[in-house]
Each structure stands twice: as structure tokens, then as C-alpha cells.
Structure 1
Amino acid sequence: MAGQGRTTPGRAADRGATPRRDAARRRAVSLLLGCLLVAPGCSAPSADDPGTGAIQRVLDRRADALLDRDERGYLAAVDPAARELLAAERRTYRNLGDVPVRSWEYRLRDVERDGPRATAHAELRYRMAGYDRSPVTSARTLELAERDGRWYVTADRPGAAGVQQLWQQGAVDVVHGRRSLVLGVGQDNARLREIAAVADRAVPAVDDAWPGDWAGRVVVLVPGSEASMAGLLGASAGSYRGIAAVTTGEIRRRGAAPADRVIVNPDAYRTLGDFGRRVVLTHETTHVATRADTSDATPMWLSEGFSDWLAYRDAGPAHGPAAPELERSLHRGELPAALPQDGDFAFDAGAAGLARAYEGGRLACELIARRWGERELTDFYRAVGAHDEREGAVEDAMNDVLSVTPDAFDALWREYVRERLR
């Protein structure tokens, strides 16, 4: 299962303004840029089919040519008769010109042969030099034709659960920060440098509160528009309206995860002030840092609440009320009886309901940090994520790390919210 964290501008910009929707990390691998896998049921290609080996060699040569900066070699894999594809691949190659690609490979998962034609289902796997410890993977479907004993690519499109890549949207401008890599299309270079500066501040802020082994760097993608952002996420136009940023990545059962990407919505991001931008990128960077310790066992109140807690960790009272929607609920006598459930983070929860969910998760993490300590909070987070399944994960971690039961913690949380928001 997989997930992503999302941030809308309102609450990030000002806690007293329209609530920011740090949206739920979706747990469907099919929606994510950084963790796209082939559809279940695709089998490994047969080693007995000589055509499969020949197709793999064509793709290997194509990948090698890209890394060697050999345009002619890269385009040699494309059928010369497929003029539209040839033009598109030439643009793609040139759009990648300044991108620091360290590795690039295609792994065949399934090949369907029909005489001199074939459809190959593959994983494109690539890494950025100096930033990715593990590859980003994206499903691709390639159509090929054999002519005179040689295979040529005649079509190349996203596969099952696949998405568009940034360099397919235009020439990529690259900004290297101290702790960040920002890749943008159709953006002013000054804007990309400003985003890199904010990301460079976010990384050490996360390092300070999240002791552990992670890349300590973040890759940020800035497409040209909100619609282009949706294309990178395989979503319909308008799906991410008002969402300032998204973190993509795969939530695995346990252990290391593929590389993450923070994708910025330029339309929403530009409406934020300095504080809001810092909150957004710190929140999303926290998702990157905690990815390997986040699993199916991790409830959303903890994963989103922890990212929000860290993003607001050093914020003072000048930035508005601690939790405006929960405060309104408290004044109406409608304080939730328990911590938010995963369903409370759904799209259809509404802005106010979604804000209450994130505020509730953040104050729960704040309670742990203040009552037990920040180290205990991170230990608790890891203990939950290390559990084999969702059932019992929070209960066992609360018992082992905090020496408290879930019911007792709910009571402490409600009292903490009352005291915090009076």
C-alpha cells in the first residue's frame, strides 16, 4: 500500500484563516508518481522467447544512450516511421538535458507477442545523482515492431497505474540547493531558487526532530500549472485544486521504500506567505524522512499529525490559534470523543472537518512530545510502523513506549485539547 501527503494553502498561510488541508496520504499505489508498480498479475517475461531478450536489449541500449548523452543512440530505438513518437522522444531527451540522472533502466514484466509485433509492460526505474538512495519506478507500456530482425519502439505510454513524467511536459530547469534539488517546467528561475531555499531550511528542521537514517535531501518537482501537476499524479484536472503540495511515495509493509518526490502546485503555492511556504515544505519533507518507518499499520492521525507537528514545531503564537477548527468545536461543546479516524481525512470530509482531523492528529503528537518527550514520540511512531498489521499496532506501541492504554490516551488527549485551546 502507498501514500502521499498533501497540503493546501489556507491553514499553512495563517492558522486563523481558511483551514489548510494537509490531505490524506492515499494508500493506493496506482495513484503515486514515486511508487508506480505494474498491475498485479503481470508475469515475468519468458526467457525461452528470443524476442523477449531482443526487446530487453533494445531497451538496455536506449537507457545506456540516455546516460551517455548519446541522442542518436537514444532515438535509434524508435521506429523511424513513427514520426510523432520520434519527435516526442527527441523533445523528451532534450528536456532531460540538465537533469542529473544517475541511473535509468527498463525492467520487462510481461511481453505479449503477435508475430512481428509486441506489447511490453515494463518498469522504468531511475535515480537522481546525489539525491536518491533507491529508484523511482514508473509503469510503462511500449509497443514494438520487428523489421529485418530488429525490434523498434512504435509507442511509449504510461502503463497500468502509470503517470506522465515532468520532462514530458517541457524543458526542465534545474536548481541545486544545499539540501534540495528543484526541477521545474515553465517556471521563473527565481521562483525555483526561492523554493530551493525554503526546502533547504526544511531539511535540517526535519533532521533536528527525526533522528534516524534517511537521505537528508529532498527532490521537489514544480510543474507549469495545477493541471500539469494532476498529470504527474495520474489525476483529472482540478483534482488538486487548492492543494499546495503533494508528497508521493510507496508505503510498504516494512523497511526501505522507493524514492519520494515533493510536487508543488504552483498556482496554490504562490498564494502562501513565507511562513505558509515553510510549513508546507517542512510538512512534506517530513513525509519523505519518515517514509521507511511508515507502513500500513500507521494510522493517518499519526502520519499526518506528526508531519504537521514537526512543521509547526517552532511556530509561536504570532501565527494564530493552535487549532482554530477544534477551538470552534470546543466552544460549541462538540469536541470529538476520540482521535480522528482515517475516514476523517477523506476528500468529502469538507474543509472544516478535514482541518479538525489534522489539528487533532497534530495535538495528539504535541501531547506525546510534551508529556513523554520528543524522543518518545519518534520511538512511538517507529514502533507503530514496525507492527505487522494495523490491528493492535497503536495499542502495543502505546503500551511499550508510553505505558498507557488507547482509552487512557484518548482521555488525556481530550483534556489536553481543552487546556490547550482555552
Structure 2
Amino acid sequence: MAGLSLVLLAALVVTWLGKDDPQPPQPHLTSPTARQDLAAEALLDLQAAVRSRDAADLGPDASDAAGAAVANAAALRIADFTLRYVDEDAALSTKLPDGQWAAAVDASWRFAGFDARPAHAEVTFVFEVGAERASIVSVGDGDRRTPLWLAGRVQVRRGPASLVVAAEGQLVDAFAKRARAAVAQVHKVIPTWKQELVVEVPASDEQLDSVLNAEPGDYANIAAVTTTVDGTLSPSAPVHVFVNPEVYSGLKRDGAQVVMTHELVHVATGAATATTTPLWLLEGFADFVALRDSELPLSVTAGQILQKVRSGGAPRALPAGNEFDTRTTHLGASYEAAWLACRLLAQTGSEQDLVRLYRQVSNGGELDAALRQHFGFGEKELVARWRAELRRLAG
């Protein structure tokens, strides 16, 4: 076991160095094999209870954490749920009270009716041993993903094409309303693409980092992100929208709806696992759909990029790469610039020409060739027209 191996290694190093000083305090040792067996039994009980939707299968003295997971699973219709004890997390265990230990657990789960295939991730579980049983103290912490539905009690709102799961304290009905509106908006432009939407709303930006296993600050500047549930780029992985409540709560009604619709476009078009679509097209197209019926003035929808044009001239190239980094200081201007490029294409040709361009490029088509096919000019001409449009709008 990892903890015991570290202790033996430390002892060998002390002997080899010939030190006579007393050996320093050793790390807190956690569960021996018997405790791991008890933890595996507790996981099997939770697995059975989630599958049966019956907390009685948890056995006597079940913890609040396990009970919350069963209740959440029933509301979310969790399917394909499996848990497997992997190994002790010795570093985290040393920080826990006596009798408790942490372990990595391989988990899989699926939101039935919305996820076609299960997500897979290593999740941190904390256990506590009793006389003859182990109980699950908590789920989360450590350097692993923490599925929101396993981290504590959640609120659930289910519609025919949208599902919202929110931490307690969040305005789940408001999110559900915006999710339904987003489905209707996206359907107007891309009715043939899948529009089922799952929105997860953590309690805080810190919990968002935990749910996504992100570094603190990675998503501090954005209101929501569309990504795979397990962090992989596998096309078969479930894709959900994850909200940053700290930023999203500061948006006005129209802005909040634009964000929700934008993210649904990413879900519908498979953007979370797209690796070749230019970022300006990927993000600009999502904003084009989200802003299609908006009556917001350009001072709101393009104010940042137009100010940059007035102060420093039009950019020489369409936004790309690190210009869409979540930590960049001009992220808003990059999104606005991309939206205006897509709006220009739709005005030059048609909305459906833009949709066809996006579909072709997202399926691996070469951008310049697709532009010529649908609009009659290539990428160089697009940049020139876009720069001229930015100067015109900036006055």
C-alpha cells in the first residue's frame, strides 16, 4: 500500500545516511486491508441503493452523504452506476481525523434520458470505520473530479429537452426557464442537431473548480462552460453545461439568456470535443444563434471590440488561440469580434449558408474551401471584409 511503502522508504533512507537522530514522526497510517474491504462493502451498498432508488439498501447507520446520493440519483434517474475502490489517498488521509481515510474510487454514471453513454472518473471518497462496518463520510476533496450530484443534496428540474441540477440555494427554477428558452432558440436555427441540454449549477465558483477538477481561477472570468463530464475529449463522453454562479448571477436577464443559449449551441454541435474548428467560428457561431433574436444594441453586444478598434485600429486577424483563454484580459472583445465575423457572413449570404459552413468545417472540412463554396470568397477576403465592417461600426 502507498502509505506503508513511503514509511519503509523513509526508514531505508535514514539507515543509508547513517543518521543517529530519532526518526521524525511518520505520516498518519490509514486503513489496513480489512478497512479497505469494509470500504468496498460500503461502496457496494451505495451502488445497490442508487440502482434500487431505496436508501434501505445502505444498511444501518447510513451517513447523510450516502443518503443524499441516493435521493439525488432517484431525482436524476441515474443509470449505469458503478463504484470500484482503487487505492488509498495517503496524502489526504493524513489530514483526516483518526478513524477516517480517503481513497480514490473509480465511478461511472449516466443521466438516463439525456446522456447516451456513462461518464467515468476517479472520485475521492472519505470513509470512517466503525466496529464492523465502514461508512461514507463525504465525497470530494483531493485532486479529483467531484460530481455535483455526489457532493451533497441537489435540486432537479426536468423538461422534455432540458435537465437542470443545482446545488441547494441556487434559483433552480430560473435556470430551468432559461434552459427551456435556449432549446427553443437553438431549434429555430439548427433543428436537425440534437438539442438535449443538461445544466449543472454548483454552489460557488470554488465548487465549480472541484466539479471540473480545475485550478482555482481557471473559470473565474466566464459565466458558464460546456465540457465533457469526465474531462476527456472522447466523442462518446456526456457533455453538460456547467455554470459559474459567481459570474452568472451578476448578469442581467437578457445576458443570462444569451449565455445559456450560447452554451446549448456548443452542446448541440459537439463543440466540446471539436479539435479542428477555428475558435472564432466555434464561438462566433454560438453567439450568432444566441443573439439572433436579441434587440440589444451594439454598444452592449459589441462594445468592447468596437472600443478597441477606435483606440488601436481593427485587428489584423480573426481571434484565435489564447485570445479565448479564460484568463485573458480581453476575452469579451474576442467573443464580440468572432460574433461580428459570423454575423457578416450571414448578412453576406444567408443564415443557412453560415449553418452549412459551420457544419462542413466542424466535420473536418477546410475553412478556405468551405468559404469559397458557400460565400464565393476565401479566408483572406473574409478578414478584409470583417476589418472593414469593424471600422464602419466603430465610426
TM above 0.5, one fold? yes
User: CA 1:182–1:157 in 2, change beyond 3 Å: closer, same or farther?
Assistant: closer
Structure 2 distance, partners of 1:253, 1:94, is: 29
The residue number in structure 2 matching 1:361 is: 338
Shift in Å, 1:261: 1.7
Instruction: State the identity %.
Output: 29
* Equivalent residue runs for 1:144-155 within 5 Å: none
Shift in Å, 1:281: 0.8
* Equivalent residue runs for 1:30-109 within 5 Å: 63-74=47-58, 87=63, 89-96=65-72, 98-106=74-82
The residue number in structure 2 matching 1:46 is: none
- Helix, strand or coil at the partner of 1:320: helix
Which of 165, 171, 193 is 2:173 aligned to? 193
The residue number in structure 1 matching 2:224 is: 245
Q: Paired residues, what number?
A: 346
AA aligned opposite 1:361: A
Structure 1 distance, partners of 2:214, 2:206, is: 9
TM-score, normalised to structure 2's length? 0.73
The residue number in structure 2 matching 1:226 is: 205
Structure 2 distance, partners of 1:73, 1:284, is: 38
The residue number in structure 1 matching 2:150 is: 168
The residue number in structure 2 matching 1:179 is: 161
Shift in Å, 1:178: 4.8
The residue number in structure 2 matching 1:124 is: 107
Shift in Å, 1:397: 2.8
- Helix, strand or coil at the partner of 1:376: helix
- Helix, strand or coil at the partner of 2:316: coil
The residue number in structure 1 matching 2:19 is: none
Largest Rg, 1 or 2: 2
User: CA 1:96–1:317 in 2, change beyond 3 Å: closer, same or farther?
Assistant: closer
Structure 2 distance, partners of 1:129, 1:266, is: 25
Structure 1 distance, partners of 2:304, 2:192, is: 33
User: CA 1:252–1:93 in 2, change beyond 3 Å: closer, same or farther?
Assistant: closer
AA aligned opposite 1:71: A
Deviations 1:208-257 (A, max 9, x none): 1123231x221222222222222212134454335322222289889x44
Unaligned runs of 5+ in 2: 1-38, 89-101, 128-132
AA aligned opposite 1:134: R
Which of 278, 290, 298 is 2:277 aligned to? 298
The residue number in structure 1 matching 2:20 is: none
Shift in Å, 1:348: 4.3
Deviations 1:51-95 (A, max 9, x none): xxxx9999777534312123343569xxx9xxxxx6365244345
Structure 2 distance, partners of 1:287, 1:235, is: 20
Native 8 Å contact 1:169 1:228 kept in 2? no
- Helix, strand or coil at the partner of 1:314: coil
Native 8 Å contact 1:169 1:185 kept in 2? no
Which structure shows the bigger proportion of residues in helix conformation?
Answer: 2
Shift in Å, 1:202: 0.7
The residue number in structure 2 matching 1:13 is: none
Structure 1 distance, partners of 2:113, 2:308, is: 47
Structure 2 distance, partners of 1:319, 1:91, is: 50
* Equivalent residue runs for 1:339-418 within 5 Å: 339-350=318-329, 353-387=330-364, 393-418=366-391
Deviations 1:271-323 (A, max 9, x none): 22211111111111111111169621012111111111211111225473541
Give the structure, 1 or 2, with the largest relative contact order (CA under 8 Å, sep 6 or more).
Answer: 1
Deviations 1:378-416 (A, max 9, x none): 2211222222xxxx8323433444342221221122122
Structure 2 distance, partners of 1:226, 1:102, is: 25
- Helix, strand or coil at the partner of 1:139: strand
- Helix, strand or coil at the partner of 1:247: strand
Unaligned runs of 5+ in 1: 1-54, 81-85, 113-118, 145-150
**Residue 250 of structure 2 corresponds to residue 271 of structure 1:** yes
Deviations 1:157-195 (A, max 9, x none): 77997411213332112222453222122225xx21111
The residue number in structure 2 matching 1:332 is: 311
Native 8 Å contact 2:306 2:393 kept in 1? no
AA aligned opposite 1:413: W
